[in-house]
Amino acid sequence: MFSYYLDLAVRSLKRSPGLTALMVLAIGFGVAASMTTWSVFRAVSGDPIPWKSSKLFVPQIDVWGPQGRSSDGEPPNAMAYPDAMVLMRDHRAKLQSAMYQISPSVVPAQAGRHPLNVSGHAVYSEFFPMLDVPFLYGSGWNASDDTQRTAVVVISSKLNQKLFAGANSVGKTLNIESKDYRVVGVLDNWNPQPRYYDVVNSGGFSATGEDVFLPFERAIEVGMSNDGNTNCNAVPAESGFVGLQHSNCVWIAYMAQLDDAAAVTAYRNYLDGYAHAQQQAGRFGWAVNNRLRDLPAFLDNQHVVPSDTKVSLLVAIGLLLVCLVNTVGLLLAKFLRRSGEIGVRRALGAPRSAIYAQFLTEAGIIGAAGGVLGLLLTGVGVACVGWVLPKSIATLARLDLPLLALTLLVAVVATLLAGLYPTSRAARVQPAWQLKSN
Partner 1 sequence: MKLHPILAALRKHKAGTVLIALQIALTLAIVCNAVFIIGQRVERVNRPTGIDESNLFLISQQWVGAPSGDTADGVEKLDAMQKEDLVALRNLPDVVSVAPINSLPLLNSSWTGALSLKPDEKNVGTRTAYYFGDEQVLPTLGLKLVAGRAFNAGDVQHQGARDQRDPATVMVSKAVADKLFPQASATGSAVGKAIYLNGSGKPSTIVGVVERMQTPGTGSWASAFAWNSTLVPTRMDANFSRYAVRTKPGRLDAAMRAATPALYAVNPLRVLDEESIQSFAEIRDKAYRADVGMAALMGVVCLILIGVTAAGIVGLTSFWVGQRHRQIGVRRALGARKVDILHYFQLENLLIAGVGAVIGVLLAISLNLLLIRQFEMERLPLAYVLTGVVAVLALGQAAVFAPARRASNVPPVTATRAA
Binding-site ranges for partner 1 (CB under 8 A): 19, 22, 25-26, 29-30, 33, 37, 67-68, 103, 105, 107, 114-117, 177-178, 223, 225, 233-236, 239-244, 306-308, 310-312, 315-316, 318-319, 321-323, 325-326, 328-330, 332-334, 336-337, 387-390, 421, 425, 437
Task: Judge contact between 175 and 121, C-beta under 8 A.
Answer: no
Task: Judge contact between 122 and 252, C-beta under 8 A.
Answer: no
Cβ of residue 336: shortest distance to partner 1, in angstroms? 8
Closer residue to partner 1 in complex, CB, 168/178: 178
Cβ of residue 266: shortest distance to partner 1, in angstroms? 34
> What is the secondary structure of 349-401 as a DSSP string?
T--HHHHHHHHHHHHHHHHHHHHHHHHHHHHHHHHHHHHHS-HHHHTT----H
Closer residue to partner 1 in complex, CB, 105/265: 105
Task: Judge contact between 9 and 358, C-beta under 8 A.
Answer: yes
Closer residue to partner 1 in complex, CB, 315/347: 315
CA atoms within 13 A on the CB side of 36: 27
Cβ of residue 308: shortest distance to partner 1, in angstroms? 5
Q: Which positions ≥6 away from 178 have C-beta within 8 Å?
A: 107
Per the DSSP assignment, residues forming a β-bridge with 254 are: 98
CB-CB neighbours of 140 under 10 Å: 21
Closer residue to partner 1 in complex, CB, 87/102: 102
Closer residue to partner 1 in complex, CB, 16/54: 16
Cβ of residue 98: shortest distance to partner 1, in angstroms? 20
CB-CB neighbours of 393 under 10 Å: 23
Closer residue to partner 1 in complex, CB, 259/308: 308
Cβ of residue 366: shortest distance to partner 1, in angstroms? 13
Task: Judge contact between 175 and 158, C-beta under 8 A.
Answer: no
Cβ of residue 323: shortest distance to partner 1, in angstroms? 6
Backbone phi, psi, residue 252, to 5°: -110, 130
